[in-house]
Amino acid sequence: MNDRVEHLQMVQSIITRMAQNSFLLKGWTITLMAGIFAIAATSTTGSLVAIAFVPATGFWFLDAYYLRQERLFRLLYERVRDAPDVDFSMKTSPDRAAGTGWWAVVFSITLVIFYGLALLTVALVWIGISIAG
């Protein structure tokens, strides 16, 4: 029983780390977009705002990677919890359950709302600067 608890703690620490990485990526997305908007506000051309599409899109896919890993490790946690013996395996590859596919995670509701709004904001600021300029 003690080995099972130790294995579950190992898996849980990875799940926590993946969730923290996802949280940090969202913070970096907002920070970089704000920085790019601030630089673009002092620029005479509005096309500088378009650069914000690159980190927002890149962070979306990186965040999807961490969310997918988190989901796979949650499935591993369930498998370890229900397993008759403890082997300390950290392999997640056999876990191909619904919701863990790459595109299912990229277009999960939480990522679509956050990064969709971020990209929509970039588009609206770009249009607003283009019209005003």
Cβ contacts of 85 within 8 Å, gap of 6 or more: none
Name residue 27's amino acid: G
Q: Are 49 and 126 in contact (CB under 8 A)?
A: yes
Q: What is the pLDDT along the chain (133 residues), one digit of tens a residue?
A: 788 899 999 999 999 999 999 999 999 999 999 999 888 888 766 778 888 999 999 999 999 999 999 999 999 898 888 888 888 888 887 556 667 788 999 999 999 999 999 999 999 988 888 787 6
Every domain of the chain and the residues it spans: 2-132
